[in-house]
A and B are shown apart, each in its own frame.
Chain A
C-alpha cells in the first residue's frame, strides 16, 4: 500500500481504494510499524491512505494531525516525504470541514 500511495487522492476510486479503505486498522498497524522502524517515508505513504479514509468519513485508528506533524519534524529533508505529509495533512483537514 505504501508503493500505491500516489493513488491516495480524492476523486479516485478503484478496487485498490476499496481494499485499502476496508481495513484501516491494518493500515494503522503498518504506519506504526514504519514509524517505530524510523522509516518515515513509508509511514507517510501508508498514512495517506488513512487520511483518505478519514476524508471519506471513516475513522482511522490513529490521530492523523500529530502523526503527520511527527513525520514532518522527525522525517528528514526528503522532498517526497514532505509531499506525502502535505497531501496527507490536506486530506485529513478535508474531513474536519
Chain B
C-alpha cells in the first residue's frame, strides 16, 4: 500500500521496499506459496498472499499460471467461506490478473453490508466483516467505483456512528479499519477527531495499541498482541493521506 500510494517519505518508502524484499525472500521468491498451493489446492491463502507481492512487482510465473487455472475452476470459486473472504480471493485474483472476471455485484450483495441491514444490529466481528468487504470491493481504496452506490450511501450515513461507538469503547484496531473504509468512499464522512484520538493513544515508540487494555510490558508479547494494529494504522494513514492529497488512482 505504502509503495502503491507513494505518499510516504523517502525513509518510509525505503523501509516498505526492504520489508517486501525481506518477506519475498522468506517465501523463497514465491516458491513457498507455490508449493503450499500445489499441496493444498483448495486453500485460498497462497493466492491471497501472493496478490500483495504481485501488486508490488514481485511475480512468480508458475503462481500466475496456477492462480489463473484455479480461478477457472467452479470448485475453487465455490469453496465455502465467509462472504467477505470470498471477496478477498476475488480481489486477489483481480490484482494478479486484471482480466479476471467475476460477478462483483452478486458477491457484494451476498455480504452483511450488501443487505444494507439495520445499522443498530451490528457487533464487533460484523464490523470487521464490513471493513473487509469494502477493502476488497474497492481494492483498498484504489477503485472507489467498486462499491455499489446503495452500499456507499448506506455507509455514508452509518459509518460515522460505528466509528464513534467503537472509539468510545477504545477499540482502536477496529476504529483504524473504519477510517480506512472512510478513505475508500468518494467523500470521507467520519470525524477527523478520530485521527487525533488515535494519535493520543499511540505510544512514544510508535506502538499502536489494539484497544484500551494495558499493553504487556514484555516487548515480544506487546508486539504479538498489537502487530495487527500497526498494519491497520499504516494502511489507514497511507490511504487517507493519499486521498486527501487527491492523488489520482491507477486502475490496476
Contact = CB atoms under 8 A, between A and B. Distances in A.
A26 to B, nearest CB: 10
B175 to A, nearest CB: 14
Interface stretch (A9-17, A51-59, A60-68, A88-96): A60-68
B115 to A, nearest CB: 12
A37 B165 contact: yes
B97 interface: no
Contacts of A33: 161, 164-165
A36 B161 contact: yes
Interface in A19-68: 25, 28-29, 31-33, 35-37, 43, 61-63, 66-67
Interface stretch (B4-12, B73-81, B118-126): B118-126
A25 B120 CA distance: 14
B100 interface: no
Given A25-B157, A29-B157, A62 B165 contact: no
Contacts of A32: 119-120, 158, 161
Consensus secondary structure, chain A interface: helix
Nearest to A25: B157
A70 B157 contact: no
A36 B122 contact: yes
Interface residues of A, number: 16
A36 B165 CA distance: 7
Interface string B132-164: 000000000000000000000000011011101
A76 B102 CA distance: 47
B120 A29 contact: no
Contact of A62 (B119, B162, B164, B168): B119
A29 B119 CA distance: 9
Contacts of B164: 33
Interface of B: 118-122, 157-158, 160-162, 164-165, 168
17 contacts: A28-B157, A29-B157, A29-B158, A29-B160, A31-B120, A32-B119, A32-B158, A33-B161, A35-B120, A36-B122, A36-B162, A61-B157, A62-B119, A63-B118, A66-B118, A67-B118, A70-B118
Given A32-B161, A33-B161, 13 more contacts: A25-B157, A29-B157, A32-B119, A33-B164, A33-B165, A36-B162, A37-B165, A43-B120, A62-B120, A67-B118, A67-B120, A70-B118, A70-B120
Interface of A: 25, 28-29, 31-33, 35-37, 43, 61-63, 66-67, 70
